[in-house]
Structures are given as C-alpha cells and as structure tokens.
Amino acid sequence: MTGSADDPKPRRRPRLSDVAQLAGVSLGAASKAISSPDAVRPRTRLAVERAVKELNYMPSEAGRALASRSTRMIGVAMPTLHHPVYASFFHALQNTLAERGYLTVALAHDFDREREIVLIERLVRRGVDALVLIGTDHAARTIALLDRVGLPYLYSWSSDEALERGAVGFSNRMAMHELVCHLAGLGHRRIAMITGEVRYNERARLRLKGVQEAAASKAMELVEVATAPLTITGGLDGYRRLDPVRKGVTALVCGTDLMAAGALHGARQDGFSAPEHLSVTGFDDIELAGVLTPPLTTVRAPIAEMAHATGEAIMAMLKSGEAVPTQVLPTALVVRASTGPAPAEPHATVTSFVSR
C-alpha cells in the first residue's frame, strides 16, 4: 500500500526546503507563502500549496519556534485538574487560545507552592510565550523568576486583591458577602463555615473574609470555622468536626459545592435535613449542585467567561507588550432549596431526631 519498488528509502519527513524545491521557489518564498499567503504572488502561493499537499508537508513547530523565538505555547500553573471548575477553566482557556493558534499547556501543583515553582521553571524552559497564574497568592521567588526572565504573565481567577499587573477574575469576597446576606434575610443568626486551606490560597481566604465581614455587618455570629480539603470527603469530614446542628448553628456556609455535597451527606447521616434543620450553601455552581438533595443554594462562578477573558487578555498582553487592566466578572447568587428560614428553635432539633 505504501511500498513501491524502491522501498528502502529513509522517508525523511518533508521539510520546507523540499516544498520550496518541488514548487520551484526559494526557501524564503515558500516560508512566506505559508505564513502569510497574501504577501506573495498568487502563482507562487499556488505552487507552494500544491507542493505542500503533494508532500504531505507539516511545518515543524520546533524549527519555527527557534527561529521566531515564539513557541506559541501558553502555560498555566493550575492548582489541580481534579476539581470540575479547574478542569472547565482549562478546557475553555485551551479552546480560546487554540483559535489563535496557541497551545495551552497545563501543569498541576496540587496546592503546593514549592511544586509550583518547579513547574513554572519547567514551563519557562519550554519557552512558553506567556503564563497564566491561578489566583494571586504566589511565592515571591516565583514572581522574581518570571520578572527576571521577562516572561509575560497574568493573574486569573481572583480579582479581589488589586495588583499592578492586572487580574482577570471575580470577587470571592463580594460573592460570599451576597450569599451571607441571603442567609441573614432568612433569619439565620448563628452560622458556621467549612473553608479550604487559606494558606497560600487567597480564594479561600477571601471567601472566609467575605463571610466574616457579612456576618459582622448583619450581626450574625460566625460560630466556628473548619478547614478541610476542597473535596466531597473534605466537606463530610468538616461537617462531622463542626457538628453544627447540635451547636445551635442554623446555616452552614461551604467554600465549594463539592464540600457542600459532603456536608449535606453528613447532615443526612445524622438525621438532619436541609433546609429544615440546617441551611447549607456552596460555591461554584457545578453541575452536581443542581441535583443534590436538596438542590444547592450557591454562587455561580463565571468560569467559562473568565477563561475566555483570560485568553483574550493574554493575547492582548502579547500584542501590546504591556500588562492589561484588571477585569472583574460578575458572580450570581443561585438560590435553590438547600437554604430556607432559620428554624425557630434551633436547639430543639437536637433531640427530636435520631434516625439516620
């Protein structure tokens, strides 16, 4: 099928010079005909196009990258890819950048700062044209490295902490503020929170801060805060440590939907149901949120829009060579059935239920 009589040919992958030769033009002309077809005579363009097809020529990015000093790769140092919102973000960012001919490379550091530096060094060596940093809380060494090598980078995800460099994201603080005000409106006075680790993670920190501030402004008591991994299991575990209902807490704010799912599960195991005994809230509005029992009241994070805006901002940055202004995307409170009026006598519930 591929084998002709003279089979022992090395079959080197065709390169641009082969195309040029077959097309009867110079190397430079062939290059131009491919990269900017409108800058050459139609005659040349067609000859090159035909040769490309004939030879099944595929340009080598390695050669292009070396000569043009641009790999057309954008790196993203992600905390993780397991969490649905991060996966969605990467997916949308990749699609946005692919439209512009860029390849998006994601590395996950699992919320480990030291590992983040290692990954970023790797991306720098790989010659990415720019870097997306998730969140604004990064090691000084990381930033120093990027500045030293002159690599353009952009903060994404969190816009609370205004930075000279500009960030594309949303306000975790304000979103939580709105959510807690919703709880206040339902008559809740004693609330608790399950948060992700706030160290090295300003998203978690600012969500907590938003809750604290809102609680204070509405004269609610933030009875207790538990720190747990940003997973379903983490939420379950956090719920158990908190044991909110028995402490007279009527609303439990969770840092993510996944944690809220775990908390809801924990409450159910204890024989408590939402929102009768305890209102529960999440953050992110992932698909799961809508089909939990009960459906989860949460905050919609504009992940896809943010990814798109981040991609556009990166492109703008690369074009202009300058940092871009901060962009704040709106979040939205999504009220579902997991929140309701605070029970009149919260403590009464403690003894009235023993079933699982």
Partner DNA sequence: TTGTAAGCGTTATCAG
Partner DNA sequence: CTGATAACGCTTACAA
The residue ranges that bind DNA (CB under 7 A) are 12-13, 15-17, 25-29, 31-35, 39-41, 43-44, 57-60, 62-64, 66-69
Comparing CB distances to a copy of itself, the nearer of 50 and 126 is: 126
Q: Which amino acid is at 344?
A: A
Judge whether 257 and 283 are in contact, CB under 8 Å.
Answer: yes
Residue 26 or 320: the one with the smaller Cβ distance to DNA is 26
Residue 233: closest CA among 263, 199, 192: 263
- CB count, 10 Å around CB of 132? 27
Residue 50's binding partner among DNA, a copy of itself, none (Cβ under 5 to 8 angstroms by kind) is none
Nearest approach in angstroms of CB 160 to a copy of itself is: 27
Asked if 349 contacts 245 with a C-beta cutoff of 8 angstroms, the reply is yes
Instruction: List phi, psi (to 5°) of 195.
Output: -115, 160
- Residue pair 296/282 in contact (Cβ under 8 Å)? The answer is yes
Tokens of 156: 């994404």
Count of residues in the chain: 356
81 or 328: whose CB is closer to a copy of itself?
Answer: 81
* Main-chain phi, psi angles of 333, to 5 degrees: -75, 130
Nearer to DNA, 17 or 217 (CB): 17
**How many CB atoms neighbour CB 92 within 10 A?**
19
Provide the minimum distance between the beta carbon of 62 and a copy of itself in the complex, in angstroms, as a whole number.
4
| DSSP tag of 284 | B
Residue 308 C-beta: closest distance to DNA, Å: 27
30 contacts 16 by C-beta, under 8 angstroms: yes
Q: Quick check: 287 binds a copy of itself (CB under 8 A)?
A: yes
Residues near a copy of itself (CB under 8 A), total? 49
Closest CB to a copy of itself among residues 78, 220:
78
Find the shortest distance in angstroms from Cβ 53 to DNA: 15
262 is a contact residue toward a copy of itself (CB under 8 A): yes
Minimal distance, residue 267 CB to DNA, in Å:
57
Which two structure tokens, joined as six digits, stand for 320?
Answer: 């202009």
Gap between the Cα atoms of 76 and 72, Å rounded:
13
Q: Kind and range of the H or E element at 182?
A: helix 172-185
Cβ atoms of 277 and 249 within 8 Å: the answer is: no
AA identity, residue 213: E
Q: Which of residues 302-341 bind a copy of itself (CB under 8 A)?
A: none
Q: What is the closest distance, in whole angstroms, from the C-beta atom of residue 17 to a copy of itself in the complex?
A: 15
- Quick check: 140 binds a copy of itself (CB under 8 A)? no
If the CB atoms of residues 91 and 113 are measured against a copy of itself, the closer one turns out to be 91
Shorter beta-carbon distance to a copy of itself: residue 65 or 350? 65
Q: How far is the CB of 34 from a copy of itself (least distance, A)?
A: 12
Q: Judged by CB under 8 A, which stretch of 122-130, 155-163, 177-185, 248-256 contacts a copy of itself?
A: 122-130
- Among 31, 44, 94, 298, indicate the residue that binds a copy of itself (CB under 8 A): 94
Which of 252, 265, 276 has its CA nearest to residue 345?
A: 276
Contacts of 345 (CB under 8 A, 6+ apart): none
Residue 261 is a binding residue for a copy of itself (CB under 8 A): yes
Residue numbers of the site for a copy of itself (CB under 8 A)? Answer: 2, 11, 13, 56, 58-63, 65-66, 71, 80-82, 84, 87-88, 90-91, 94, 98, 103, 105-108, 121-122, 124-127, 148-150, 231-233, 236, 261-262, 265, 268, 287-288, 291, 293
